[in-house]
């Protein structure tokens, strides 16, 4: 991908290195500490206060998570952060334009970088679940160790493979803005929502290709990534058995087909889950 030198998004919130801190007792001193940390880091003092006064262990970072490094992230991770900012910025430009085409306003999401575990409006979540989108606070959450896992464990390396992961989560944000994320969705509906997010990721990839962002072979990287994290493939890796009744995201074939449909068209309407248009509501 030709991402180097691209515009970087300002909507990235870096929480790496801000792990749970346990302080016995409480009182005004803890409140002051929370306020000071909040002012220095830009985080919500109330959330920091909860971490400072918590007596319940929050767990340890996963084995794949990169350890926090005093003075900032290591050089390799710093480049990953730049990559995330550039890709996020490109999704902002793409979806702002798409929404304008349909007379709608696109509200920019936040992307939160964390390591190990993170507290969101959807609750405390471990990096083991992978990247996720929380509709309650309209934020994407990403532990950069997932990129390394995607390459080394799942055999799906490459810039566009990583970009696809981000674009998929942004696809959920698009769904949220358009009212396409049904509450209390069951097995079938959950898969449909995930496949639509894959298709939206493809729409972004198509628009990026028009601007010269993609290089030969990039689309194949994305398709390999989609296949690598299909429910059937993941189940074979973990248990050796495939149980379609427990799928949540769709099979490898379904995910690659959804991504490919968006990549080939660039039109979000090809991603509709029902007969109603994507922008019909």
Residue 120 CA to residue 137 CA, distance in Å, equals 8
User: What is the reported pTM?
Assistant: 0.79
Other beta carbons within 10 Å of 50: 13
Domains of the chain, by residue range, sit at 12-17+61-271, 20-57
| 153-189 confidence digits (pLDDT tens) | 888 989 999 999 999 999 999 999 999 987 666 667 8
Q: What DSSP assignment string belongs to 113-132?
A: E-SSEEEETTEEEEGGG-SE
User: What per-residue confidence (pLDDT) applies to 87?
Assistant: 97
Predicted confidence (pLDDT) per residue in 51-70, tens digit: 444 332 322 223 333 333 34
pLDDT in tens, 8-20: 999 999 999 875 4
| Predicted local distance difference test score (pLDDT) of residue 104 | 95
């Amino acid at each position: 991908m030709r991402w180097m030198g691209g515009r970087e998004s300002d909507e990235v919130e870096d929480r790496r290195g801000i792990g749970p801190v346990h302080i016995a007792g409480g009182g005004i001193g803890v409140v002051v500490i929370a306020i000071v940390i909040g002012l220095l880091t830009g985080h919500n003092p109330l959330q920091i206060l909860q971490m400072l006064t918590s007596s319940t262990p929050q767990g340890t970072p996963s084995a794949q998570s990169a350890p926090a490094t005093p003075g900032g992230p290591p050089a390799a991770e710093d480049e990953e952060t730049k990559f995330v900012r550039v890709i996020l910025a490109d999704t902002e430009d793409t979806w702002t334009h798409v929404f304008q085409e349909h007379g709608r306003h696109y509200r920019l999401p936040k992307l939160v970088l964390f390591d190990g575990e993170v507290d969101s409006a959807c609750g405390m979540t471990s990096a083991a679940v992978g990247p996720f989108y929380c509709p309650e606070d309209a934020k994407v959450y990403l532990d950069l160790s997932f990129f390394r896992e995607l390459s080394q464990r799942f055999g799906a390396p490459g810039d566009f493979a990583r970009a696809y992961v981000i674009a998929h989560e942004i696809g959920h944000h698009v769904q949220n803005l358009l009212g396409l994320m049904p509450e209390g969705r069951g097995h079938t509906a959950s898969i449909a929502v995930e496949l639509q997010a894959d298709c939206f990721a493809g729409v972004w990839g198509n628009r990026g290709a028009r601007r010269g962002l993609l290089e030969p072979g990039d689309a194949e990287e994305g398709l390999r990534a989609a296949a690598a994290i299909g429910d059937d493939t993941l189940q074979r890796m973990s248990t050796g058995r495939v149980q379609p009744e427990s799928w949540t995201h769709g099979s490898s074939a379904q995910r690659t087909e959804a991504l490919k449909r968006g990549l080939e068209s660039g039109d979000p309407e090809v991603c509709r889950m029902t007969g109603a248009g994507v922008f019909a509501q």
